Structure 1
């Protein structure tokens, strides 16, 4: 197949996206697909005479994209368009676009909406469910309404909401996070008034809407759901602190165990909740849901990821490996299940 692996973008998760894209593109090339890596934000003035060449240097393209990252902020000051030169025409020429985007303008349904209107097949779920899952406040409301356990929390609007915890019958510690950010960027734990004030300032520096959530102390887990069926559960145990940006992407900062060492009953319950979360958000093809379980065994779903990390060492590839699915096979499988949307 001729495949565009779309990565980069202009979100806070650009670097993670490039890593995902590089891994996916290399894996698909191993499977003899004519995959190319495309920077959605910068594109190219020319992609050459042969759009999907037999021989292609994935690493060189990824390195070029990383070099362009330093221009994102400056470019954004003078350019309103999100799609770079020739990006849409190249995507239109592909059999499918593998979305390796993370964060705003990629995981939030905007790119998906454009592709729907242009008739471009792509991996993952549709625009509406992408937008719902991206917004942690909306996700929480849907979970609460549909019986998916989730920590108590509230959405606050900058300058328009009461911020005192007493107004929401909450107490310290709390988690403060941007509504639509990803990779735990801007997420803080607050244990007192001073830390809470700092956390609000930090989160509001990213977005005008944030979520304040009752902190649950416990073990952290993640569950991939592919075509509505939960994969083996992976436990994420940070050596220090919680599963923030640093612990997610710095090698050796977390211990990841799959299958997670919990009871069969707990495994079944968490997988059931993951499948329910996937269903009530109307996800398609695949996604990943994150959980925390306290010392009593009570489990809470924290959020859903519609375009989770896809480096070879990311969480979903580790879960798939337990099922005997290697990384290149998984990349192919995600394309296969995504194409069913168009049948």
Structure 2
């Protein structure tokens, strides 16, 4: 019998629904390739039993909290079972948008600026007018995002001060800390990284006011362009920025970086995703296909890159 592989999906993060879809697509591909793979939802299975049940490798398809933040990576390191994707430290860093942006900025990489972090407890105790004053220095519109969450859940674009308080409350549902940053108008791109190389960039066009959860997963008005339409020089510049951003936070195997080309034609890094979606609508498999990798090729390559 071949080595037993566990595909972890589901979990209890707000991104559970997407994780289930991604994980099932990965599991189906592995099974069709004749691999002895079993799907496991950590809600129903204690992860400390993975070794006891003879699993030799783990394909992590958990999105968000508990999956991308170093928690499951720490458990698997403790059990000494190899797994896909970035390790504990990189996962913990990149799940935290504020820390990631601060590190990138420290290394001279372009990030959307200004931004600041707001803590739930401090917000309750502090003077709301002080925060309002700080935000007005940015000039509206601004973005308010949960600091440790993915899939654009809890994100708001605030155009008017009247909507500020509600946007802050909404973001705090998903995270104890929220990131408040300047809104940058421009063209959005997402770039997949696979085995230290970048996949063809994808340009994203959407009809919503920003690339939100609905635009990502449900609206058929969202358009993806691969090839991205960037000229050779701009694509080279993008590749350099993305690989530097990837290496600074010491990520490995596979992941995705979102970036915006502002109105002055300068790239600004947005965020990083260490376990990209692998659903039928996900961008990572689209980019891999453009690079000549079928979904089956992609899944097996990620699995074989496991340390």
User: Helix, strand or coil: the match of 1:18?
Assistant: helix
Report matched runs for 1:3-82 at 5 Å: 3-43=5-45
Q: Kindly provide the CA deviation profile for residues 264-284 of structure 1, in whole angstroms up to 9, marking residues without a partner as x.
A: 111111111110111001101
Aligned partner of residue 203 in structure 1, secondary structure = helix
Contact 2:217 2:281 survives alignment (8 Å): no
Pick closer, same or farther for the CA change 1:168–1:287 going to 2, 3 Å.
farther
Q: Kindly state the Cα deviation for residue 91 of structure 1 after the two structures are TM-superposed.
A: 5.4
- Is this contact kept in 2: 1:312–1:327, CA < 8 A? no
Q: Find 1:216's aligned residue among 176, 181, 184.
A: 184
Q: Which residue of 1 aligns with 2:205?
A: 237
Q: Distance in 1 between matches of 2:143 and 2:304?
A: 37
| Unmatched runs of 5 consecutive residues or more in structure 2 | 124-129
3-state SS, counterpart of residue 290 of structure 1: strand
1:89 — aligned with what?
49
Q: Which residue of 1 aligns with 2:116?
A: 154
Secondary structure in structure 2 of the residue aligned to 1:319: helix
Structure 1, 87-96 or 296-305: larger mean CA deviation: 87-96
Q: Give me the whole-angstrom Cα distance separating, in 1, the residues matched to 2:15 and 2:120.
A: 23
Question: In 1, Cα distance between the equivalents of 2:51 and 2:298?
Answer: 22
Corresponding residue to 2:80 among 119, 123, 126: 119
The answer to whether 1:283 aligns with 2:256 is no
1:114-171 Cα deviation digits (max 9, x unpaired): 1101111110011111010000010110111012211011111124255235368411
Q: TM-score, normalised by structure 1?
A: 0.83
Q: 1:191 to 1:18 in 2, by over 3 A?
A: same
Instruction: Name the count of aligned residue pairs.
Output: 297
Instruction: Give the structure 1 partner of residue 60 of structure 2.
Output: 99
Normalized against structure 2, the TM-score is what? 0.92
1:318 paired with 2:286, answer yes
2:158 aligned partner:
190
Q: 1-side partners of 2:217 and 2:51: how far apart?
A: 29
Per-residue CA deviations over 1:227-261 (Å, capped at 9, x if unaligned) read: 22211101111132221111111151310111201
What corresponds to 2:232 in structure 1? 264
